[in-house]
Structure 1
Amino acid sequence: MTITSAIVLYAVLWFMTFLMVIPIRLQTQGDVGEVVPGTHAGAPEHHHLKGKAKITTLVAAVMWGILFWIISTGAITVRDFDWFNRMAPVEASE
């Protein structure tokens, strides 16, 4: 795995994890009962983004480490997902 693909993998994992973590413990203006005029009741009042970013960074780093190990060692390859045998056979080295 090249450094570019490792960075891209981490970025994708980070953003996917962040989008899953954002709604956790989110308090909206409607939940608090103080809706600011001109805003929607579903607008966030307390979002705790700094803590969520820290959690996201930790979780994404663990997932990245596991995926990096799998890719680097070849424990799972593309051929493992060739359920219909559409890939050409592997040529034996002489």
Structure 2
Amino acid sequence: MPWALGTALFFIIWWILLFAILPFGIRSQHEAKDIVPGSEPGAPIVHGLKRKLIINTVLAAILWGVADWAYITYYLQP
């Protein structure tokens, strides 16, 4: 796979997975009954963004590896 195609594909996979992973594990202030005065009740208590970014990058690398394998073995051709 050419490096430009590989980079673009990884970028697309990474962003799609990020939007799929972001909602998991979020507890709002309203659900926890711990609303901070002056804030939105639907705001998350702890978002865990660093952990989600790491998980997202690992999953994107795995999926990119599968796509690269499919490209190399001619299962996937542009």
Larger radius of gyration: 1
Q: TM-score range by the shorter chain?
A: 0.7 to 0.9
Q: Distance in 2 between matches of 1:61 and 1:76?
A: 17
* Count of residue pairs the alignment pairs up: 78
Q: Distance in 2 between matches of 1:3 and 1:76?
A: 16
The yes-or-no answer on 1:30 pairing with 2:38 is no
TM-score calculated relative to the size of structure 1: 0.74
The alignment partner of 1:27 has SS state of coil
Q: Which has the higher helix share?
A: 2
Following superposition, the deviation at residue 55 of structure 1 comes to 0.7
Structure 1 residue runs without a partner (length 5+): 79-94
Partner of 2:41: 41
Q: Distance in 2 between matches of 1:49 and 1:77?
A: 35
- 1:36-75 equivalent positions in 2, closer than 5 A: 36-75=36-75
Sequence identity, in percent? 29
Q: Distance in 2 between matches of 1:7 and 1:57?
A: 13
CA RMSD of aligned residues (A): 1.4
Structure 2 residue runs without a partner (length 5+): none
Question: Which residue identity lines up with residue 26 of structure 1 in the other structure?
Answer: I
